[in-house]
Structures are given as C-alpha cells and as structure tokens.
C-alpha cells in the first residue's frame, strides 16, 4: 500500500510502539452498536445537562459588562453634541420618501476612511418623494445615515418653497430639521415627511447641523452625481477614483456598505494583493471586478458576484479571468429554517485559453446540511471529487490519455465521501471546572473505479491483502474533556499577575470496513503567566498527539518495513524501518505577548517538536500565492516573530516571519514574510 500524502499539514505523526494487540479481533457489528449507544448516551446526558450557556463559569479574564442595556432603543450612533440623544424612536417604516436620494453638485467627494460624502457648489438633492433641496454644501455620514444641506438653501416640498440656512434629515428616524429664514430665523421640525405641519420651535439634537472636520483626510472618489440608497449603497457617476498616484476616471463607481455580512462572503482563492472594484449592484446584489497579483499568475483580473438576503447568499466567481488556469467557484448558503442550514460549494479548475474547450478540468463539490438539536447538532457532509470532468480521450503518444499534449493528462476517478456526524454541546461535569463534549459519526467513502482507465495501478480506495476496496464504511466516537482557566498561583499583591492552567484531552476511535481502526489521543496542557496583565503575558503549552492505525495480523502488510527518502535532498531516513503505523508528536510551545501600548504588539513564538517517525523537510509549495515549506511532520524547531504596528486610527500593519533553524539543511527563514493590512 503506497503511503500517499494525506494532507499538506503536519499533524499526523505519532508512535505506539507496543500498542498493536488491542484491536486485532475487533468486531465491526459490535462496534457499530457501541457507537450508536455511545451517541445515544451522549444525547441523553446532554439533554439532562443544564444549558452550558448558563453554566460555563466566567474565566479569570471574564468581567461582566458593567451596565445593562438601556430599556429604550437609542440612536444607532452617538450624537456627540451636548444634548441627550433621542431615545424612544424606533426605526420607522421606510417609505418612498426615505428611499434612494439623488445628489448632484459641481463636485462630490467620497471620504472612504470616514464613510462621508461631501458635495460643494450648486448642490441639488432630490429625495424619494420628490422633495428638492438646493444649497451650497451637502454632507452625509453614510453610517449615521443622516445628511445636511446648508448655505443659500431652498427647500421645495409639497408644492411650497422655503428659504433657509440649513436642512438636516435623520433618515433612521424620519425627522427633518430645518432653519428657515422668514422675517427672522426659526427652527422647524418635520416628522414623517409632513411638510404642511412643521413643529415650530421644537428642540433639536445638539449636533444636528454639525459638519465633519475632514482636514487631513484623503478623497477616495470624486463625482458629479451620487445616488444614495440609505444603509445600502451609493452609485457615483462619473467617478474618478484615487489610485494613490493619480485619479483614474470611470463611468461609474458602485459602493456597497450594507450591514449584511453576507456581502462579505468570498469565493475567490487567496492572492498576494487584491484590488476590488464594485461596479454594479443593489440591495441584494453586487458585481465586483478584481485586479489581483500572486506569484504564480502575476497580474490578472477576476470577477465575483453576490446575490444575498438576510438568510441566504449565492456567491460565484471566475478567478483568474485572464489566465488559462481558471477557477470557477460557487458558494451558496441558505438558512432553511431557524434550526437548519445548508451550504454548498463547488470549485472547478480548468486549463483553457479564454473560454474555449478546456484541456483539463477537475472539480470538487461539497455539500453540508446542519440541523440544530436541543443540546447537540447533526451534520451531513458530502465531498465529491471529480478528477476530470472531460470525457475519456483516445490514447495518444505511448498510449497516454491526454488533451492537447501529455502535460494535460486525463485522470479518471470520482471519489466521494459522505459523513453523518453528531456533536454534543459542551457540558459541565457536575460542579467541577471541567467540561465534556461527545461526538460520533458514520460515513462512507466510495471510488467509482476499481481499476482506473489507462492506468496500471488500482483505482480503488485501498488494497489490503489482495482485496481492492472501492467502498469503505467508517464510524467514529470521540470525546473531549477540558478544563476552564484555573488559577494555580495567585499574585500575593493582588495585581492579577496570576498563573493560569488549562488542560484538554481529546480521544477518538474510528473503525473502517477495510479491517483496521485508528485511535487518536490529543493531550494539551498549558500555563499562562500574566507578567503584566495589560502588557505582557507568557504562555507555555505542551501537546502530545498519539495516532495508532491498528491492522492486527495485517499490520506488517499495511506498514511494511521500508526506508523513506527526502523528496528534496534524496536523503534516506532509516528510522522509518521501525514505523508500524503508530506515531507520536510531542510539541512544546512558548509564546511571549508584549503590548507596550495599544499601537504596538510584539509576539514571539517558539516551538520544539519531538516526533516519531522523524520529520522530513519538504519542498516549497504555493497556495493562494503564498509559498511555504510542505514538510512531512513538524520541523523540530521553529521561532516566529510577529509585530503589529498601528499607523493611525484606521490602519494596522502586521508582519511576521518564522525561522526553522536549518531544518533539513535548507530550511532557515520561511519563504516569505506574512503581512496584513488590518483595520
């Protein structure tokens, strides 16, 4: 049986030197009954356990919120003026009057840092009901959802014209505040668009007519016209967008600032740099063009589109649009009922020039349905892998199967995994500072082909004792036992420089119809010393991971004694001669978190590993434009420095790099810096 790569990560190495006899006579049927009983007991236990949301004790760091929420709904954002905020105005029904408003002016500027639109010169605002306001200056805070028109103001509403100094509209509350100039100035308030009956002299919020101070702020876009859909979007036409060095004209720019998080769902693969440009959309849709860069594709374009509501989203993309190796992505979510949700993802990777007939096309489809129960949940997951979506080609050179040339080889195979899992809530163990969580699963894995067309090797999922397994059933039970953060050494001076301890034990057994089972035990112990509760913390963690793959009498058939070689250097690792399918990973990690002030964070992480079988340094791989060492097992030593610096109140720069202490003779620094621009 070839030891095919399982995953690109490094967490599967462990050692059970003496643990082979326990499962040799395991009986699948009895184990099935046991798994079901285990799950049933877990259901019962969790049903009778008090709601863990109420019973999880507060951590040493958990301090209750100081004050309860007010009884009346407040303003959505602060009114920074000296007066109290309106407190009892629930959001009124938004009618046509409060629908999209149109603004034209000599110059409209959008300040993306502040989400503020300002317009100057011949300002004209037309609201949804036809109300027209003209003036010198317009200002709107998109997040406060209110606007102001001031200077030489004229209001035309309901067939009547008024002159005044300023007009402010609080859209969330459907209140308009007006400073008319009659024989003398006055203060009027219009409620719910009733311009015929102004409330004369009614007190106004203190900051009603404030203009934001935008000095020092850079303009992201200029335009002549803006159509603003409150709390949703703005379309600027024609738009000039700030690209740093210059403003580039566009026919229009569409800004989506909806609070619906479903607009943030992303179906694109990672990239080193990404510049999105929303160019079309509305309350439920958004179309975005992306200018991207990564190491493999260099500069390229991509396209993504969102269709969303509060309970669903569909996101699809083509990435890259302008390179032959394309990904077609689809991501869909639906909250079917309050306790059931479904997620579907599909990704096709195709090599094609433009949108012509692909020379290769592979795909992965994943479906997941989750049903929340009273104290647990059920999840049905399906993964379908399509090694090729194209028809089998005629044999070509040397009998190979390919499209175009042999570099686009055709691969048969359609593996499919289906898993039904049950996961219980975290429940306290009596009054102890312990929690337990149970889980179980039942799955099936299937491969269409016993022998892959055009290949001499078997296509079955597994070959054992001369038997090809096209279908492998599996079932698993597991539990997790963990502590809360326990204070083991209290600061005698009461300055909270305490020492905390946490522990977690996770154990699982998984049986397969191809006769073997896998035991996994992960034990984690950690200590935290708060050297300075606000600035400096030292964390130490020890993790022991044991994985045993038990084949009983067929152990040596599954794991024959053989050496392994480094795919990079060709070095032979004879210690693998002793590997029989039982491995141990022992990891000792330390982390120093230093936050001298809110603008600077320095994190130094160190990790030492002792593994059996011993780790082997792997080649550099690139995923999402980021290169990394694809090792077999953990590197024995790793140090990572992460520095986070806040440039200003909206921009944080985070940079990190790791050192591997010459692992394998060639791994020193990680292939690249990791950097992020955060808000």
Partner 1 sequence: MRNRSRLAYAVVAALALIVAAGRTHADAGAVPTPEPLSSYLTPPPLSATATPKPTGALIRYAGRLLDVRRGFVFFTTGDGFRLDPDAKTVDAANGGPTKLQASTGTYARATFDESSGDVVELALSPNPLPSEASYEQIARFAVVLSTPYPNPDLNSSKEGFNGEPVLVVFTVEVPPKTQFGDSVYLATDVSGWSATAIKMDRVDALHYRVSRDFNSGTHFFYRYTRGSWSSAERGQDGLEVKPRELLVRNLDVQRVNNVVYHWGDENQFQPDLGQPVPTPYNPVPFNLPPRK
Q: Which of 18, 215, 356, 394 binds partner 1 (CB under 8 A)?
A: 215
Position 36 contacts partner 1 (CB under 8 A): no
Window 47-86: contact mask with partner 1 (x via CB under 8 A): -----xx--x-xx-xxxxxxx-xx-x-xxxxxxxxxxxxx
Hey, which residues between 602 and 661 contact partner 1 (CB under 8 A)? 603-608, 613, 616, 618, 623, 632-633, 636-637, 639-640, 644, 646, 649-650, 652, 654, 661
Q: Which of 373, 380, 411, 622 binds partner 1 (CB under 8 A)?
A: 373
Residue 26 CB, nearest distance to partner 1 (Å)?
16
Q: Which of 38, 110, 147, 177 binds partner 1 (CB under 8 A)?
A: 177
Position 6 contacts partner 1 (CB under 8 A): yes
Q: Which of 12, 107, 225, 323 binds partner 1 (CB under 8 A)?
A: 12
Q: Which of 165, 289, 363, 389 binds partner 1 (CB under 8 A)?
A: 165
Hey, which residues between 130 and 149 contact partner 1 (CB under 8 A)? 135-137, 141, 143-144
Q: Which of 114, 154, 312, 657 binds partner 1 (CB under 8 A)?
A: 114
Residue 405 CB, nearest distance to partner 1 (Å)?
26
The window from 96-104, 245-253, 401-409, 417-425 that contacts partner 1 (CB under 8 A) reads: 417-425
**How far apart (Å, rounded) are the C-alpha atoms in residues 647 and 596?**
15
Measured CA to CA in angstroms, residue 243 lies from 261, 275, 291, 351 at distances of 26, 10, 12, 32
Which token pair is 97?
A: 């009057």
User: Tokens 């020092």 label which residue?
Assistant: 216
Which token pair is 501?
A: 């301890």
Hey, which residues between 570 and 609 contact partner 1 (CB under 8 A)? 572-573, 576, 581, 583, 587, 589-595, 597-599, 601, 603-608
When the beta carbons of 321 and 378 are compared against partner 1, the nearer one is 378
Residue 123: closest CA among 239, 195, 224, 234: 224
User: Tokens 């290169």 label which residue?
Assistant: 627
Position 212 contacts partner 1 (CB under 8 A): yes
Window 511-550: contact mask with partner 1 (x via CB under 8 A): -x-x-x-x-x-x-x-x-xxxxxxxxxxxx-x-x-x-x-x-
**How far apart (Å, rounded) are the C-alpha atoms in residues 243 and 649?**
21
Which long-range contacts does 15-22 make (Cβ < 8 Å, 24+ apart)?
A: 15/546, 15/582, 15/583, 15/584, 15/612, 15/613, 16/519, 16/546, 16/548, 16/582, 16/583, 16/584, 17/582, 19/519, 19/548, 19/550, 19/582, 20/550, 20/552, 20/555, 20/580, 20/582, 22/550
The most distant pair of C-alpha atoms in the chain lies apart, rounded to whole Å, by 104
The window from 33-41, 92-100, 372-380, 402-410 that contacts partner 1 (CB under 8 A) reads: 372-380
**How far apart (Å, rounded) are the C-alpha atoms in residues 164 and 187?**
10
How many residues bind to partner 1 according to rule CB under 8 A? 216
Position 566 contacts partner 1 (CB under 8 A): yes
Ramachandran assignment for 671, one of left (phi > 0), alpha (psi -120 to 50 degrees), beta (any other): alpha
Hey, which residues between 220 and 279 contact partner 1 (CB under 8 A)? 257, 259, 261, 263-266
**How far apart (Å, rounded) are the C-alpha atoms in residues 416 and 461?**
10
When the beta carbons of 130 and 161 are compared against partner 1, the nearer one is 161
For the chain, the C-alpha Rg in angstroms (whole number) is 32
Residue 667: closest CA among 626, 624, 633, 638: 638
**E strands of 598-636, at which residues?**
600-612, 620-623, 626-629
Residue 86's contacts (CB-CB under 8 Å, 6 or more residues apart) are 74, 75, 173, 175, 205
When the beta carbons of 149 and 239 are compared against partner 1, the nearer one is 149
Q: Which of 108, 204, 226, 234 binds partner 1 (CB under 8 A)?
A: 204
Position 183 contacts partner 1 (CB under 8 A): yes
Position 334 contacts partner 1 (CB under 8 A): no
Within 13 A of 485's CA, how many CA atoms are on the CB side?
15
**How far apart (Å, rounded) are the C-alpha atoms in residues 652 and 677?**
6
Residue 282 CB, nearest distance to partner 1 (Å)?
17
When the beta carbons of 132 and 529 are compared against partner 1, the nearer one is 529
User: Tokens 């229009």 label which residue?
Assistant: 252
The partner residues of 609 in beta bridges, in order of sequence, read: 587
When the beta carbons of 27 and 364 are compared against partner 1, the nearer one is 364
Length of the chain as a residue count:
679
Window 298-317: contact mask with partner 1 (x via CB under 8 A): --------------------
When the beta carbons of 363 and 404 are compared against partner 1, the nearer one is 363
Q: Which of 423, 555, 584, 670 binds partner 1 (CB under 8 A)?
A: 423
Position 411 contacts partner 1 (CB under 8 A): no
The window from 21-29, 98-106, 286-294, 437-445 that contacts partner 1 (CB under 8 A) reads: 437-445
When the beta carbons of 395 and 678 are compared against partner 1, the nearer one is 678
Residue 578 CB, nearest distance to partner 1 (Å)?
13
Position 412 contacts partner 1 (CB under 8 A): no
When the beta carbons of 242 and 396 are compared against partner 1, the nearer one is 242
SS (H, E, C) 126-159: ECCCCCEEEEEEEEEECCCCEEEEEEEEEEEECC
Residue 110 CB, nearest distance to partner 1 (Å)?
14
When the beta carbons of 69 and 398 are compared against partner 1, the nearer one is 69
**How far apart (Å, rounded) are the C-alpha atoms in residues 506 and 477?**
11
When the beta carbons of 6 and 197 are compared against partner 1, the nearer one is 6
Quick check: helix, strand or coil at residue 449? coil
CB atoms within 10 A of CB 30: 9
Position 565 contacts partner 1 (CB under 8 A): yes
Hey, which residues between 460 and 519 contact partner 1 (CB under 8 A)? 461-462, 472, 476, 478, 480, 482, 484-485, 495-497, 500, 502, 504, 506, 508, 510, 512, 514, 516, 518
Q: Which of 366, 389, 393, 409 binds partner 1 (CB under 8 A)?
A: 366
Degrees, nearest 5: CA angle 36-38-42: 115
Position 330 contacts partner 1 (CB under 8 A): no
Position 456 contacts partner 1 (CB under 8 A): no
Does residue 477 contact residue 518 with C-beta atoms inside 8 Å? no
When the beta carbons of 60 and 404 are compared against partner 1, the nearer one is 60
Residue 226 CB, nearest distance to partner 1 (Å)?
18
Measured CA to CA in angstroms, residue 395 lies from 83, 164, 358, 410 at distances of 82, 83, 18, 10
Degrees, nearest 5: CA angle 251-256-260: 160
**How far apart (Å, rounded) are the C-alpha atoms in residues 674 and 372?**
37
Which token pair is 27?
A: 């009986």
When the beta carbons of 238 and 567 are compared against partner 1, the nearer one is 567
């Amino acid at each position: 049986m070839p030891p095919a790569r399982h995953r690109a990560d490094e967490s599967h190495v462990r050692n059970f030197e003496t643990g082979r006899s326990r499962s040799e006579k395991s009986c699948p049927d009895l184990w099935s009954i046991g798994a079901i009983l285990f799950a049933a007991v877990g259901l019962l236990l969790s049903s009778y356990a008090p709601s863990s949301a109420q019973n999880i004790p507060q951590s040493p760091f958990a301090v209750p919120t100081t004050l309860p929420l007010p009884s009346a709904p407040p303003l959505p954002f602060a009114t920074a003026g000296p007066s109290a905020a309106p407190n009892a105005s629930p959001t009124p029904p938004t009618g046509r009057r409060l629908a999209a408003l149109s603004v034209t002016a000599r110059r409209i500027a959008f300040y993306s840092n502040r989400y503020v639109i300002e317009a100057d010169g011949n300002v004209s605002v037309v609201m949804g009901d036809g109300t027209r306001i003209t003036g010198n200056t317009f200002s709107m805070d998109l997040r406060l959802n209110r606007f102001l028109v001031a200077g030489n103001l004229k209001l035309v509403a309901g067939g009547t014209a008024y002159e005044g100094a300023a007009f402010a509209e609080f859209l969330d509350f459907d209140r308009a505040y007006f400073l008319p100039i009659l024989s003398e100035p006055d203060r009027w308030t219009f409620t719910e668009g009733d311009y015929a009956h102004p409330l004369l002299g009614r007190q106004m919020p203190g900051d009603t007519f404030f203009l934001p101070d935008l000095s020092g702020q850079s303009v992201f876009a200029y335009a002549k016209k803006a159509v603003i859909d409150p709390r949703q979007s703005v379309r600027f036409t024609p738009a000039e967008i700030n690209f740093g060095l210059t403003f580039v004209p566009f026919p229009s720019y569409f800004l989506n600032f909806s609070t619906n998080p479903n607009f943030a769902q992303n179906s694109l693969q990672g990239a080193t740099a990404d510049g999105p440009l929303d160019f079309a959309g509305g309350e439920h849709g958004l179309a975005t063009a992306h200018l991207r860069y990564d190491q493999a594709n260099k500069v390229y374009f991509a396209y993504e589109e969102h269709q969303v509501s509060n309970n669903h989203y569909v996101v699809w993309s083509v990435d890259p649009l302008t390179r032959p190796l394309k990904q077609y992505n689809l991501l869909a979510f639906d909250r079917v009922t309050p306790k059931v949700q479904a997620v579907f993802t599909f990704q096709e990777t195709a090599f094609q020039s433009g949108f012509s007939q692909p020379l290769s096309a592979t795909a992965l489809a994943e479906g997941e349905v989750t049903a929340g129960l009273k104290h647990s949940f059920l999840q049905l997951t399906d993964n379908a892998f399509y090694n090729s979506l194209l028809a089998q080609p005629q044999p070509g050179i040397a009998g190979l199967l390919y499209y175009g040339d042999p570099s686009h080889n055709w691969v048969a195979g359609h593996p499919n995994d289906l898993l039904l899992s049950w996961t219980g809530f975290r429940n306290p163990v009596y009054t102890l500072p312990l929690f337990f969580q149970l889980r179980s699963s039942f799955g099936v894995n299937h491969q269409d082909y016993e022998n892959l067309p055009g290949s001499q090797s078997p296509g079955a999922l597994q070959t054992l004792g001369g038997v090809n397994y096209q279908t492998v059933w599996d079932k698993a039970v597991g539990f997790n036992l963990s502590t809360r953060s326990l204070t083991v050494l209290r600061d005698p001076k009461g300055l909270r420089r305490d020492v905390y301890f946490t522990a977690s034990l996770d154990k699982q057994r998984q049986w397969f119809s191809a006769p073997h089972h896998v035991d996994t035990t992960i034990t984690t112990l950690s200590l935290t010393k708060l050297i300075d509760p606000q600035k400096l913390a030292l964390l130490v963690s020890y993790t022991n991971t044991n994985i045993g793959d038990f084949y009983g009498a067929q152990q040596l058939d599954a794991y024959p004694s053989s050496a392994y070689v480094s795919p990079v250097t060709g070095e032979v690792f004879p210690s693998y001669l002793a590997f029989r399918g039982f491995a141990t990973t022992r990891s000792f990690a330390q982390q120093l978190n230093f936050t001298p002030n809110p603008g600077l964070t320095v994190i130094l992480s160190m990790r030492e590993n002792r593994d059996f079988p011993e780790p082997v340094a792997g080649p550099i791989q690139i995923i999402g434009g980021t290169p990394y060492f694809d090792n077999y097992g953990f590197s024995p030593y790793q140090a990572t420095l992460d520095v986070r610096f806040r440039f200003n109140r909206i921009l944080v720069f985070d940079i990190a790099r790791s050192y591997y202490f010459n692992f394998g003779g060639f791994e020193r620094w990680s292939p690249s810096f990791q950097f992020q621009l955060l808000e």
